[in-house]
Amino acid sequence: MEVTYLLSEIETVARKLLEKSGSKTLLFYGEMGAGKTTLIKALLKALGAVDTGSSPTFSLVNVYETENGTVNHFDFYRINDESEAWDMGFEEYLESGNWNFIEWPQKIQNFIEEGDQKVEILILENDLRKLKFC
């Protein structure tokens, strides 16, 4: 599925993404500034989170409680090796049954499973994005 959207339409896109997702583990691909964190904030809001916080770039994971369960938001941009994810107990998060939103999943290739939902965000113009969802 592909959706082209303006940033002002992101909440609608987030709800559609949650409806269509075949997995509670979503992998977010896109260049720096593409809007991965912005989309994740909209997803958190759609799930009923009170705090939609910020990117966990320095802590690697932020955990949010929502009306629809716990959400683990990971940002692996700064890791140098998959062993850093292993050391933080990443596998336990994946096995928790909670929502897992993962930015920069290409840094943890060996943890990615067949059924994980891939989400790619492409910048078309300043406030126009294309979301590829497979």
> Which CATH number do you get for residue 16?
3.40.50.300
Reported as a single tens digit per residue, the pLDDT across 83-117 is 999 999 999 999 999 999 999 999 999 999 999 99
**CA distances from residue 103 to 60, 67 in whole angstroms, order as listed:** 10, 22
- What's the confidence (pLDDT) of residue 104? 96
Dihedral class, residue 104 (left if φ above 0, else alpha if ψ from -120 to 50, else beta): left
Got the DSSP string for the chain?
A: -EEEEEGGGHHHHHHHHHHH-S-SEEEEE--TTSSHHHHHHHHHHHTT-S------TTTSEEEEEETTEEEEEEE-TT-SSHHHHHHTTHHHHHTTSSEEEEESGGGGGGG--TTPEEEEEEEEETTEEEEEE-
What mean pLDDT comes out for the span 115-124? Answer: 96
Give this prediction's pTM: 0.92
Mean pLDDT score, 12-17: 96
Span 62-78, mean pLDDT? Answer: 94
Q: Nearest 5°: phi and psi at 63?
A: -115, 130
pLDDT above 90 for 23: yes
Residue length of the chain? 134
Show the tokens assigned to 36: 């991965």
For residue 62, CA distances in Å to 56, 73, 103, 129, 132 come to 6, 5, 12, 25, 25
| pLDDT at site 24 | 96
Number of domains present in the structure of the chain:
1
Domain that residue 103 falls in: 2-133
Task: Name which residue leads in pLDDT, 118 or 55.
Answer: 118
